[in-house]
Amino acid sequence: MYDLKPIFEPKSVAIIGAAREPGKIGNVIVRNFVDSGFTGEIYPVNPNATEVDGLKCYKSVLAIPKKVDSAVIAIPARLVPQALEECGRKGVRGVVVISGGFAEVGNYELEAQLATIAKKYGMAVVGPNCLGVVNPSAKVDSIFLPTYKMGRPKVGGVAFIMQSGAVGSTILDLIAREGFGISKFVSYGNAAVVDETDLLEYLAKDKQTRIIILYIEGVKRGKEFFKATKKLAKIKPIVAIKAGTTEVGASAAKSHTGSLAGNYAAYHALFRQNRVIEARTLDEVFDFAKIFETQPHCTGKRVAIITNGGGMGVLTTDAVIENGMELAEFTEETRAKVKETMPLTVNARNPLDLTGDADASRYEAALNLAYGDPTVDAIIVITLFQTVSLDSRVVDVVVKAAGKGEKPLITIALGGEYTEMQRRALESSGVPSYASPSAAAKSLAKLIEYSRFTAKAKKR
């Protein structure tokens, strides 16, 4: 097994192919390491430069006078084997090969050389043909996309293992915007050496990581992948999206990362058997990630719906039932308190429609009732900010209630600019906010399903 720590937490990094021209890949990588505030040593390597971005530049990795933990390689494919060989001789323990031009365009032999060199030196190599690695807590960022084009997420609990760089970068960018955080991100491309199974094993042990997201086109070692998911899904939730679910899609995958995407039915069965949570769309990846990152486990499936709009209450009820959950009945006490403390227009039933003139304090009262009610296992709060009486104070109320962490609480809000502002405030405070009842209910159902599975696994 390869030691992946030098990849994710290096104390010093060589950037082989460092460039002086702004916009060039080798320049963006140096800049991102500098700009992200990486506190270790940064060694640009380029035989034709003496300085890059104010840093001394070396002719080769062998010319660097001090110890080098890790290297990022971004040079033409044919030059990569020699650079990698030099890394091995230098004692570099982890290398990210950004360069493309290997198996994905038919250069299988060139790719095989990388594996041979890595093996010879016992050196962890990620790539080639990949975006590399981001670790916000260690300020490691080998991604060659400028930050104004692709935002970088804050520190959080979600780890991403992405075979595709493009899918990975869109996801990173979206997460940065949505305001939730990541623990680690790795785009591993052709997986010539380190593959998805190695990365799964590493991240399952990573303390910062609470949930692992996996985007795969095909896996390298089927048997090991099976064993790893079987073991690790009990420890941490693994959400997987498989690309190439159709025959035509699988064929497209082959020309993309050189993957044999295999039979989707086999993957689907594996996911199901090993309790890997399968996402069928990119939307689901996010939807699932944010509830698993922030909400407590929950084995009960009785849901309270609190809303200020009847129609959204109906749609959410449908979605809850369709996803195999139930509406909480509410105790007599809860019903009595609703009648006692709320206006006559509020029916003491579930969904609890606080009606269009509900303000933050009515939501607070309703949330207290739902948290205190033993017939309620989980709570969905719908906040339609279009009404006159609902404003950002309800965000504080919801965040405070969710902070107790006793029952999962998720929200639904849909609308324009004002709503979007409130929605992001919720998300960045750790309350998942969904733009549709179906997305919210589906995500909650997955959380419950997984909670039940791990509760059962513990009992054994």
What is the nearest approach in angstroms of a second copy to the Cβ of residue 147?
10
Per CB under 8 A, contacts with a second copy among 53-112 are: 100, 104-105
Distances (CA, A) of 27 to 20, 45, 51, 189, 429: 6, 11, 11, 21, 35
Q: By CB under 8 A, what part of segment 145-184 binds a second copy?
A: 145-146, 148-151, 162-171, 173-174, 176-177
CA dihedral 351, 357, 358, 361 (to 10 degrees): -160
Question: Which region, judged by CB under 8 A, interacts with a second copy, from 7-15, 89-97, 222-230, 237-245?
Answer: 237-245
Smallest distance from the beta carbon of 101 to a second copy, in angstroms?
8
Is residue 209 within the footprint of a second copy (CB under 8 A)? Answer: no
167 vs 233, beta carbon nearer a second copy: 167
Q: Which residues contact 205 (CB under 8 A, 6 or more apart)?
A: none
63, 115, 155, 321: residue in contact with a second copy (rule CB under 8 A): 321
Q: In this structure, are residues 307 and 354 in contact, taking their beta carbons and an 8 Å threshold?
A: yes
Q: How far is the CB of 360 from a second copy (least distance, A)?
A: 15
- Ranges within 6-45 binding a second copy (CB under 8 A): 23, 25, 28
The beta strands (E) that lie in 202-359 are given as 211-216, 238-242, 277-278, 302-307, 326-327, 352-353
Compute the half-sphere exposure of residue 276: CA atoms within 13 Å on the CB side of its CA: 30
Residue tagged 């609902």 (tokens): 390
Taking the complex as a whole, how short is the minimal distance between the CB of residue 328 and a second copy, in angstroms? 11
Coil, helix or strand at residue 451: helix
Residues 322-381 that bind a second copy (CB under 8 A): 322, 327, 345, 347, 349, 351, 353, 356
* Subset of residues 244 to 283 that bind a second copy, contact rule: CB under 8 A: 244-249, 252-253, 255-257, 261, 280-283
Residue list 411-440, contact with a second copy (CB under 8 A): 414-420, 435-439
Residues 6+ apart with CB under 8 A from 162: 131, 168, 171, 185, 186, 187, 188, 213, 215
Q: Does 384 bind a second copy (CB under 8 A)?
A: yes
Interface positions, 277-316, toward a second copy (CB under 8 A): 280-283, 307-315
